[in-house]
Amino acid sequence: MKKVLIAVMAIFALSATSMTFAADTKSNQKDECLLASKGCRDQVDSIQQKIKKINTEIKKGKKVYSAEDLKKLQQKLKEADDILINLEKPGH
């Protein structure tokens, strides 16, 4: 009985650790959908959601993105901001 209990506890501890590792890994990965429109299946965001995602990715900085990638993200942020400004103008 003790062996079974120890085995179950070990499995639980390992699975909890692997879930934490997976979450950490995700936060340090590039968002290819934002960068190059890859892996965007069934992903539709409002302009506000897109701006928030881009800002989140930019904050990851050089730990995750190259200088060129960060420049692309900055450009996409500017484009999204311009779209939002145009949508908020009277008459649209």
Q: How far apart are CA 77 and CA 51, in angstroms?
A: 6
Domain check: are 37 and 76 in the same one?
yes
Predicted pLDDT at 18: 46
Domains in the chain, number: 2
On whether the CB atoms of residues 24 and 63 are closer than 8 A, the answer is no
Domain check: are 25 and 45 in the same one?
no
State phi, psi for 40 to the nearest 5 degrees: -105, 20
Predicted pLDDT at 5: 45
Residue 6 has pLDDT above 60, yes or no: no
Q: Which domain holds residue 6?
A: 1-29
DSSP-assigned letter for residue 89: S
